[in-house]
Structure 1
Amino acid sequence: MVDIKGTKLRYPISDKYHQYISELLYAPLKYHENSILICPPLYGRDHLVLQMWEKIQDRKKVLGEDFDKYRFAHINLVASATNPESVWFDQIEHALCISKGKISLFEEFEENVRFLLSDKLELVLFVNIPETLSNETFAKFLALAQKIYYIFPSKIHFLLIFDMKWNEDDFFKLTTPFRSLFQNTKLLPLFPDKTILYFINYYEHTWNLRLQNKVKEYIVEQSGGIMLLAKSVLRIARNERVNKLEELQLTISTHPDHKLQMNFFISRLTQRQQNIVKKISNLENVRDEEINHLERMGIVIKSSTSWRLRSMFLQNYLTDRKGTMSRKLKLIKDTKIFSEREKLILLKMVQHKETIIKRETIAEIIWSQQSFEKYSDWAIDQTISRIRKKLQKDPLLSGLIIQTHKKFGFCLK
């Protein structure tokens, strides 16, 4: 459970997390590869990226004895409306301490870089790509980076740290022509719950969404550390103008954007990992040794009796509805969190899924033969509310959503 009220609007980056990012970013240098690290948008981002850059001890741990053969430089990329390349030349040369006056031609820049390479050093350009940089300008920088790289391919390395854009498809379309340059592209897909909550708070404030606390809690718990899915839900909440939990649950369950992001995340897994994840989602038996690597990645966690996916969005999406319905019925019968009457109501809804169960039918389950005398809409609503809350607490049943049909009944989706 995440403490919604007690979480301040700040980005928690621990030393351990710094080291993890450094490993992803610097390790490719051992294989003479360039890399792009795609991070979530950060509040006060420039300061934090620079702080990460200044942690030289992390670089030394990753590179070991090879550390001394590199010359590192950090630039925070800026755009110029008139001549961005000239500005970038100045930035890079200033960072490398080889500036010989203002230049605007690539040939002059190339000459200065070749002069530095004569010292038998390898250059590492750590480039912070700000979120505000337009797609067009970013594409220009990638083209320039490719030209610089080909001056001396084994001696110049680019390490780019890049904000996740709202649409990852745009980013990968932009970088596709430069795949031969950036052989190592890494997403940071899994995050602690507090980081996901920070992200939600930041964009709730930026977009004036005014989300209820239970909606935030739902997004954090259901995303399971996958930033792509949290972003998708926020985007849907903004575009579809929904801020109530029940409305949001029903909207995202069939929304194409949410499906697109889940497919994108799944595509980043190996075929073997995909097969294991699908088995777990459908409550099939999987040997512990098969999923140790997925546990280390934080994609799966172990409940009291079995494995499950950390992200319930993903688990519900991958579930084979027909094949697991009998298992859902068994889970409801065996669980101890529901009262006997609540179980009977829920079993009735599961057995008649996507069919409206009338209020009178629920009244008969609650009060039996006295349903006519004791009938109360308020009592029925309270019973359904308790069932909803208990469903959300059980990871294996949280995908069951009860939809209200006002003054008529309820339907399980």
Structure 2
Amino acid sequence: MVIEKQYQQLVGRLLGQIKSGFDTSVIGMYDCGKNYTYDLIPKLIPGVQGMSLLHLGSLGSTREDWWRRLTEELGSDEVGVGLRRLLRKGKVCLLINQGYMVLIPEDFLTLWKELKEEFGQRFSVVFFANTHILNDQYENQDLYIDLVLKAERLTILPLDRQDTDITLRMYEARYGSKVRKDLRERISSDSGGNPGILKSLYMQYLDDNYIENWNVSDSRLVYRLDRLTRELSDMENRVLVGQSQDDESRLFLKKYGYLTEDGECFAPVLKHYLEIGSQKGAGLLLDDCLSKLLTVSEKKIYLRLGNNLSKILTREQIAEEIWGSDWFTKFSDWALDQLMSQLRRKLASKQGYGELITKRGEGYYLEK
């Protein structure tokens, strides 16, 4: 099995973090190879002497899903008791692949803090997550910052050209069709080294073995591009298409690979997608104050409500705005309640942005 060099090196660095007992967040843009890298760990790190590695896999949005996976892995209904039993025997590291736009249950954060205080670096947590994790809001934000945002951080960047070619060859082997030599460079370049975008472009190529112009409305591609841009703030998306030069946004986008060293959007097809959306007037642009105040998920909700003033939106409609078309597989009443409560408080703290109203049994609407 040929593995991309970048992912091998990343897992190698992660091994050092695991051995040290440091909590670590492994973060990258949507479809950056996060899931693939997480799945490589058992192959490249079969074990660490004196340590129990607990692979919790991809966790859903509900509190119940998190605790069910923990009890299954520990073989104990009492998660705290099961973990303490293992910790008395040696080190324990939890490896978690956090789902798209999924919030961490706060009682898990509380248990994490308790075990850290009790056992120190004998207990550690490794989170694989997309960049939304840097903007998520919690009831106990200080606890989240201390445990997650202050953890050691490894970044998953877009692949270089050599590794992109390895990934493309994997797709060719899987689907049994090679890309014409004169089009390989274009597919690789336009994907920007994002494995998900690369796959979508390859699938378009398979339709007729020729490419004149990419179809950015193709469901296989737009699904990925939409999720990728949803994780970014309005200001950050404006920077990607050259509509803003905001320094803070540019630093963030460069750090996580959205911008190249030359300051260009990393994937030409993504820039084209954003430009088309801008020309169509898609979405209401937030002012700088609100853009900095709200999280990514809160912005989505506010924009949807703002474009439908005084119109009631159901919880299901709002859930789809947050989690996408397959929201029902990730829906969490708790997470949605948290988001709406936080949004209401933030809007109430500023004048001129409207009031979030709850219509019991029906949904929510924005009144200005």
Range of TM-score over shorter length = 0.3 to 0.5
- Structure of higher CA gyration radius: 1
TM-score normalised per structure 2: 0.46
